[in-house]
Amino acid sequence: MENKYSGRSITFETLEKAVSGDYNAMQEVIRLFKPYMTKLSIEDGRFNNELFERLVQRLMFITWRFDMHYSEK
């Protein structure tokens, strides 16, 4: 059985670069979530570009605030 999510992964190094602000790494993170954000941006059968852009901005904000130095206490 084929996994529908195969090919949709991101390396730790790419995530680390995106968190530090690397443009190309951030584009890779956006590419990973683009199908999901596109699906969320459909309202009443129509694509809402403004909603899609807000989702991209939110993803970027969350990525930049991601704590790469997690430690269990």
pLDDT at 66: 84
Q: Which residue has the tokens 């999510």?
A: 5
CA distance 52 to 58: 10
pTM of the predicted protein model: 0.79
Give how many domains the chain has, as a whole number: 1
Q: Is residue 43 within 8 Å of residue 51, measured between CB atoms?
A: yes
The answer to whether residue 6 is domain-embedded is no
pLDDT at 6: 64
CA distance 39 to 58: 16
pLDDT at 9: 86
- Tens digits of pLDDT across the chain (73 residues): 566 656 678 898 999 999 999 999 999 999 999 999 999 999 999 999 999 999 999 999 999 888 777 666 6
pLDDT at 3: 60
Q: Is residue 35 within 8 Å of residue 65, measured between CB atoms?
A: no
The answer to whether residue 32 is domain-embedded is yes
- For 31, the domain range is 12-65
Q: Which residue has the tokens 């852009």?
A: 53
The answer to whether residue 2 is domain-embedded is no
